[in-house]
A and B are shown apart, each in its own frame.
Chain A
């Protein structure tokens, strides 16, 4: 019973490098989303998806890309990493409607 799986758990990048944070869920959830958590700012929505092939921007989308080719996977791409993207990233999924979101364990990203 895996739930929401994020990889990697920790990552250090150099400024300008690109990488993909992986997120997979095995609960057949339609909704998936990416958040970043910074001290004192709560969780801020980066991008979200309401189904395969449908994505939309959240509050802080700049510097990030997403795609949703399958129900299970929702990768987050950092195009050219910047120190401002140092954060903890959470992926979440949920079924339709006003239901709770299930979160992955988080990825701690440091950009130097």
Chain B
């Protein structure tokens, strides 16, 4: 079974500062993918960044980077130079390996989310 844990219900950051949102995961799969999504107050789910379990380098996408520490099973999201528009809910998610029927690639497991508030 897969589990994602986000221990920060809420985080505050000053505009233009960097912020780290924590994510730890638990899986027995050797191969898996880790994702971060943003959900603004309007409700849509926006994909931010992806990290594969065999990727040697941390993923980066513009102001977003994923601090992947495989041995610690953590996949923290770092947002640099925060903007007011970054205020939103952030979800960490994982897509794992195959079960006996070969279907488990089809599902994502999500954490509980972290609400980020950026102050001017």
A positions within 8 Å CB-CB of B:
30-33, 35, 40-45, 48-50, 54, 56, 58, 88, 90, 92, 96-103, 105-106
Pairwise interchain contact A100-B91, C-beta atoms closer than 8 A: no
How many pairs, one residue from A and one from B, have CB atoms within 8 Å of each other in the complex? 69
Give 19 A-B pairs besides A35-B110, A99-B33 with Cβ atoms closer than 8 angstroms.
Answer: A31-B105, A32-B106, A40-B112, A42-B110, A42-B111, A43-B91, A44-B110, A45-B107, A45-B108, A50-B102, A50-B106, A56-B106, A90-B45, A98-B32, A98-B33, A98-B50, A99-B50, A100-B47, A105-B43
A42-B43 Cα distance, complex, nearest whole Å: 13
Residues of B2-35 whose CB lies within 8 A of A? 4, 6, 9, 31-33, 35
Q: How far is the CB of B68 from chain A (nearest CB, A)?
A: 13
Q: Identify the closest chain A residue to B44 (Cβ).
A: A105
Q: B101 at interface (Cβ–Cβ under 8 A)?
A: yes
B positions within 8 Å CB-CB of A:
4, 6, 9, 31-33, 35, 43-45, 47, 50, 52, 91, 93, 95, 101-113
On chain B, the residues within 8 Å of A99 by CB distance are 33, 50
Pairwise interchain contact A48-B112, C-beta atoms closer than 8 A: no
Pairwise interchain contact B108-A92, C-beta atoms closer than 8 A: yes
On chain A, the residues within 8 Å of B111 by CB distance are 42
